[in-house]
A and B are shown apart, each in its own frame.
Chain A
């Protein structure tokens, strides 16, 4: 299972090339719009590459494979919903075309245009907090993948992941979105090739018939039907539909790709075609997880599934997929696959670094300066602030991400933490774009109730993820409607009292 010299050479050459190519972006950065949204010059094909590469990382492979291992084919519904929702948004232009027409650079910027500067600041804090904590678990999970598949000693994990993070930061800090787009393109090609290769290897190795038989024998109908599986069910499906609509429209890293396209029509095409990639993004890694169940699932039952066992060692379900890959891939192929996974890791992490740091600089620091009555910064100074914010996020991740372990299935944990701000943000965006009566009080109440609707039920009342997520969206919608209806007469009274 250990890496050979050939595998190491492939991985190291890839890392050096990737960073060197990423540094090219620096020469094209002349303004803050170049730095954050690549001068709004993305075409359809490179737009698809950068959007797909941003949302397909080692973390994506790991949590989807874990879902496949634990719940069989039933979680395929998640991939289906995420892809179909993306195609619907792409075809209709729901939210994204209006966002693109407004020439935004961050999602919270919309809140100032529609609501108020204060709400932009409040939303910026929630988005940055939720986003960075969400990303905080990436490094550890990615590190686990590398450790298990390459067989390197776990004591070097922190060093390896720190080096990779520093390499990502190097070109992200210097070249911003332009560098990210260049590297994303290369990384997309590499990671997609690796994904296809691994899928073929996994099915060939485990055998399609064995895969179906194992799931049927272990889980019965629950392994195939998302309705029959108590972990999912109708509430879960409704929550996932709402969640994926909000992710595809309001998630900062996805939205930044839409803001970066040449025009609204291009953003629709990018979203539509990436929707088809999203089907594979979910289903293929889940298939790897199921193949791992079929080949390594021989341990004692835990939560209804046998624990994975390799060479007498009992592993966690999330480590089953990399363990299987480590045992079935030969020298050279393993190096290519790991380089592909590193490509995925770097493209996701660099985009997320830029995404969340841009919220800190554009939606927290800049509005705070405005509130304090300071003069606006020049474009050059804004780039500097963005770079410093980037460094801050990177350093935070280095210390937090490598030591924090998420509880339960990683996918559900990421969904729940994302919902903290997505429920309120999505409702506010819909209200702001499509409902004339939506106002500032409604906006504050929606953001507040959306966040409380996740934090209290999940962390204090210990409700399950499905009900928690569903409740958060319902509360956020109630907050917007109630606050807007209540706020209208108040705002009228305040306006009248201020009239001389």
Chain B
């Protein structure tokens, strides 16, 4: 039981930290991605990309 207790405590710490760090990174760089997506969609001008 102690082994499992330690294992899940470690897993929880890793999960919580990676969740927080990835959230911070995505919050900053996701906005840039979003703006790029808008520019490309505008450039496509409503044309079917599938037919390119």
Residues of A near any B CB (own CB < 8 A): 28, 30-34, 38-49, 52, 73, 76, 79-80, 83, 103, 178, 181-182, 185, 188-189, 192-193, 195-196, 199, 212, 216, 220-221, 224-225, 273, 276-277, 279-284, 287, 379
Contacts and interface: CB of A to CB of B under 8 A. Distances in A.
A230 to B, nearest CB: 16
A379 B32 CA distance: 29
Contact of A280 (B18, B26, B32): B18
Given A48-B26, A225-B1, A282-B15, 11 more contacts: A38-B37, A41-B36, A43-B37, A45-B26, A181-B37, A189-B26, A189-B27, A189-B30, A199-B16, A279-B11, A280-B16
14 contacts: A28-B41, A31-B46, A31-B48, A31-B50, A43-B32, A45-B25, A47-B33, A49-B26, A52-B26, A103-B50, A220-B1, A277-B23, A281-B19, A282-B15
A28 B42 contact: yes
B34 A181 contact: yes
Main SS class of interface, B = helix
Given A28-B41, A279-B14, A280-B18, A45 B1 contact: no
Contact of B11 (A45, A80, A181, A225): A80
A91 to B, nearest CB: 16
B30 A46 contact: yes
Main SS class of interface, A = helix
A182 B4 contact: no
Contacts of A182: 34
B37 A277 contact: no
Contacts of B44: 30, 34, 39
A28 B38 contact: yes
Nearest to A73: B8
Given A30-B46, A189-B23, A224 B37 contact: no
Contacts of A52: 26
Given A30-B44, A39-B44, A45 B19 contact: no
A413 to B, nearest CB: 24
Contacts of B41: 28, 30, 34, 38-39, 41, 178
Interface of B: 1, 4-5, 8, 11-12, 14-16, 18-20, 22-23, 25-27, 29-34, 36-38, 40-42, 44-50
Contact of A73 (B4, B40, B47): B4
A424 to B, nearest CB: 28
B1 A279 contact: no
A75 B20 CA distance: 22
Contacts of B30: 45-46, 48-49, 185, 188-189
Given A45-B29, A103-B50, A280 B19 contact: yes
Contacts of A283: 11-12, 15-16
Contacts of B36: 41, 43
A464 to B, nearest CB: 22
A195 B22 contact: no
A39 B49 contact: yes
A30 B15 contact: no
A39 B42 CA distance: 10
The 9 closest A-B pairs by CB, nearest first: A30-B46, A280-B19, A43-B33, A279-B15, A224-B4, A46-B33, A192-B23, A45-B30, A276-B18
Nearest to A32: B48
A268 to B, nearest CB: 16
A212 B31 CA distance: 40
Contact of A76 (B11, B29, B37): B11
A276 B27 contact: no
B16 A39 contact: no
Question: For B5, B23, B49, which residue has the most chain A Cβ atoms within 10 angstroms?
Answer: B23
B19 A279 contact: yes
A341 B44 CA distance: 35
Contacts of B42: 28
